[in-house]
């Protein structure tokens, strides 16, 4: 029986639980559950997923780890002041924000932390298991929405991988919404295989890359030759500050460029740049400049400007992913959920790269979750 039908509750354990995206997820889930706002941007609320057995939004229970201690209701007030959340929403859903706030545990490594890797993994695992037990949850999905880390080198596990290991130890499906290493560490390959848990990632496709995944196939299908594809992003907020570090930005840009290489066949000339503009807060402007050749080599240019609110774009996708992954776990699916490539810049497993093909695959996955054609992997 599905979680929605049985009335059982499903945990969503957010790594980076006090960040902009996480706060918007908690506030947004409460607002939609209470009927205060429609589920705009949630693909799982569309007709294609009716009867897929996904856990109902009011059945989701939130908790997580973070390394800062700003209370969630205060964080939500800050987001409302910046125009990310509607004015009045933090007050309307204050009890849900406070309930999630009580379930946030100190993450790590904290400044001066003397715990070694096994001790940190054990501590994170304990926090997740304790959350599941105290709330009598049927299952919990761990979702990484913490600050982007620099690309990892060497054998040491970066924080995102410590959390991913803890998720597997705790028996939880895992979703990496960031470009950080997470489960992509060689040390974790055996643990992931043994765990027989479903997992998905990485790096949510919410703005510039979403547009690229939709537009690049158009050039290929019309037999137009893309000569160069260049992009610039201006953003502020915590993500903008984290991506001001060139190594963190490199991890992000690799995913954006992969989408073009996969959809066009070869990587075009051109680079992606990310500039931190603190005054923009959570609002992002992404400019793409595409130089292409038409018939007889005629040179042409397409330019696009995307102006989005990062957390409002990401939050409905996190809710979708938590529900889809929880249901996949309930159905006994395991390993990389390549059918969720629609949501990611750098999807796990092998799947199509063009957005329309990824959407078709996601809809088929909804059927698998329902128990229809194509079940089993
Ligand atoms: N549209 C989008 O918003 C979008 C799209 C794709 C990916 N992402 C990724 O989602 C992540 C979150 O974005 P955001 O805007 O909420 O950023 P944010 O800076 O507002 O929040 C990140 C949170 O992670 C916490 N954190 C940092 N290190 C931690 C650790 N070791 N353990 C636990 N918590 C830790 C920070 O304290 C902070 O509260 C980023 O990695 C971003 O790249 C966002």
Set out the domains of the chain in order of their start, with CATH numbers.
3-204+312-370 (3.40.50.720), 208-309 (3.30.360.10)
Measured from the CB, is residue 145 less than 6 Å from ligand 1?
A: yes
What does the pLDDT read at residue 7? 65
pLDDT tens digit string along 95-114? 999 999 999 999 999 999 99
pLDDT 10s digits, 274-326: 999 999 988 999 999 999 999 999 999 999 999 999 999 999 999 999 999 99
- Average pLDDT over all residues of the chain: 93
Q: What is the pLDDT of residue 374?
A: 45
Nearest CA to ligand 1 atom 19: 238
Question: Among 145, 148, 156, 315, which is best to mutate for testing ligand 1, by the most ligand atoms less than 8 A from CB?
Answer: 145
CA of 148 to the centre of ligand 1 (A): 6
Q: Which atom of ligand 1 is nearest to the CA of 242?
A: 19
- pLDDT of amino acid 38: 98
**Low-confidence residues of the chain: pLDDT under 50:** 1-5, 374-377
Which residues are 291's β-sheet partners?
Answer: 228, 301
* pTM of this structure: 0.95
Q: What is the pLDDT of residue 3?
A: 43
* Per-residue confidence (pLDDT) for residue 376, from 0 to 100: 40
Q: Is the CB of 19 under 6 A from ligand 1?
A: yes
* Residue located via tokens 């009580």: 102
Q: Which of 128, 239, 256, 272, when mutated, tests ligand 1's pocket best, judged by the most ligand atoms within 8 Å of its CB?
A: 239
d(CA 368, CA 374) in angstroms, rounded, equals 6
């Amino acid at each position: 029986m599905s979680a929605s039908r049985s009335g059982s509750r499903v945990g969503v354990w957010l790594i980076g639980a006090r960040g902009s995206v996480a706060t918007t997820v908690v506030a947004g889930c409460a607002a939609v559950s209470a009927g205060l706002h429609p589920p705009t941007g949630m693909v799982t609320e569309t007709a294609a997923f009716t009867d897929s057995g996904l856990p109902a939004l009011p059945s989701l229970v939130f908790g997580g780890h973070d390394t800062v201690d700003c209370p969630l209701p205060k964080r939500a007030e800050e987001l409302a002041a910046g125009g990310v959340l509607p004015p009045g929403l933090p007050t309307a859903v204050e009890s849900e924000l406070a309930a999630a706030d009580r379930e946030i545990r100190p993450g790590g490594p904290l400044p001066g932390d003397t715990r070694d890797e096994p001790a940190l993994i054990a501590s994170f695992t304990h926090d997740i298991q304790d959350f599941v037990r105290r709330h009598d949850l049927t299952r919990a999905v761990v979702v990484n929405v913490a600050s982007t880390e620099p690309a990892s080198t060497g054998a040491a596990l970066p924080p995102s991988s410590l959390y991913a290991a803890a998720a597997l130890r705790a028996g939880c499906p895992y979703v990496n919404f960031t470009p950080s290493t997470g489960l992509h560490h060689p040390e974790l390959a055996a643990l992931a295989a043994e765990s027989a848990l479903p997992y998905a990632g990485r790096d949510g496709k919410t703005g510039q890359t979403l547009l690229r995944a939709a537009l690049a196939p158009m050039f290929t299908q019309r037999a137009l030759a893309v000569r160069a594809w260049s992009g610039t992003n201006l953003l502020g907020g915590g993500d903008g500050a984290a991506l001001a570090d060139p190594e963190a930005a490199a991890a992000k840009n690799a995913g954006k460029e992969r989408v073009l290489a996969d959809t066009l066949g070869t990587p075009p000339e051109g680079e992606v740049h990310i500039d931190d503009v603190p005054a923009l807060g959570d609002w992002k402007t992404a400019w793409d400049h595409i130089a292409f050749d038409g018939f007889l080599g005629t040179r042409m240019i397409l330019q696009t400007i995307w102006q989005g609110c990062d957390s409002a774009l990401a939050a409905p996708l996190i809710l979708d992913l938590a529900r889809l992954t929880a249901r996949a776990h309930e159905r006994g699916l395991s390993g990389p959920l390549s059918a969720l490539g629609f949501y990611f810049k750098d999807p796990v497993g092998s799947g199509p790269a063009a957005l329309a093909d990824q959407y078709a695959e996601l809809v088929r996955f909804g059927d698998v979750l329902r128990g229809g054609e194509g079940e089993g992997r």
